[in-house]
Amino acid sequence: MKIFKEGMMVLANLNPQAKAYLEMFYQIPLLQTLEPQTVRDMFAQAPPVEVELAPLAKIEDRLIPVGDDAEINVRIYTPEGQGPFPLFVYYHGGGWVLGDLEIADASCRMIANRTERVVVSVDYRLAPEYKFPIPVQDSYAALQWVYENATSINGNVSNIVVGGDSAGGNLSAVVSMMARDRKGPNISAQVLIYPVTDLGYDTDSYLEFAEGFGLDRDLMIWFGDYYINNELDSKNIYVAPLLAEDLNSLPPAFVVTAEFDVLRDEGKAYAKRLKEAGGKVESYTEPGLVHGYFTNMAVFPEQIKVTISKIARFLNGVKSEQVHLTNRP
């Protein structure tokens, strides 16, 4: 298995930490050759790694209802200060198949600390046990819960942001569309970190980084096939928001992509579509980085700090604009 392409330009541009990460990643079996529960068990048995944990006032786990007598976990990160704080509903990555509250814990702590928002991290149910649309329904139900219970978590219900990485970025984009289509809750902004926006697997970045960059094309297909029920689902706009004809009236968007990532081009394409629909959009590509960096505090702490600083600036700008519009005569 090639770790990365043997091109001088690629080797020169790939971040040193990304190279080291890929060397480690490909020492384990290819995930797409295993069953989902086997992969989950393998990750659960990995020894814990000490990472930097941003200081916060409080962290609390809660069970919340999501309909049909089902419940899911959320983890609430409260920054230091008086509040009420603006809110950030976070959806973790893992291809809708892997991941839990722990995978994004250090990054969510840092988001809460640096954006001075209460972060609510959502442990939506996973495929293939719970295929589409259940992860989407859980994600929207969690947003509704935050809206309805903002006061109890010292949150400001008038300023709710949704965001997430990879499949969580997909869920953030989809929840933003659902909130528009269902007339609420109102979302102030969406933060999409290397989001899945399509299940076509055929962009230039899919071809260029198909093997050896962490999220192999075959692995992404493995995730997608476990998530959807049939080919028709792959065309559903709540699976593939890039296919939506109407992207009007969506929240301001901050879209981050990674340079060496199969999902790079569809993330950039979604940002472009949002902008063409008249939305406020800021997008950029993190140079030298690979998919998954944002929740890997052990390997990419400085890069995560940079990304979160940019997110904080964007959200402060959105907040300032909203205040300005509210105060207009």
Question: What are the 10-residue block averages of pLDDT along the chain, 329 residues in total?
Answer: 50 87 95 98 93 96 94 98 96 98 97 98 98 98 98 97 98 98 97 98 97 97 98 98 98 98 98 98 98 97 98 90 47
Catalytic residue among 107, 121, 139, 166: 166
291 is catalytic: yes
Q: Is there a domain that residue 329 lies in?
A: no
Note the pLDDT of residue 322: 63
Q: Is there a domain that residue 196 lies in?
A: yes
Domain of 301, CATH number, reads 3.40.50.1820
Burial 297-318 (b: 16+ CB within 10 A, else e): bebbbebbeebbebbbebbeeb
Q: For the chain, what is the domain count?
A: 1
Q: Is there a domain that residue 301 lies in?
A: yes
225 is catalytic: no
Range of the domain at 79: 8-324
Catalytic residue among 105, 188, 265, 291: 291
Note the pLDDT of residue 178: 98
Q: Is there a domain that residue 86 lies in?
A: yes
Q: Is there a domain that residue 199 lies in?
A: yes
Residue with tokens 């009007």: 248
* Backbone region of residue 254 per phi and psi (left: phi > 0; alpha: psi in -120 to 50; beta: other values): beta
Q: Is there a domain that residue 3 lies in?
A: no
Catalytic residue among 100, 216, 261, 265: 261
Sorted by sequence, the CB contacts under 8 Å of residue 69 that are 6+ apart come out as none
100 is catalytic: no
Q: Is there a domain that residue 149 lies in?
A: yes
Q: Is there a domain that residue 93 lies in?
A: yes
pTM of the model: 0.95
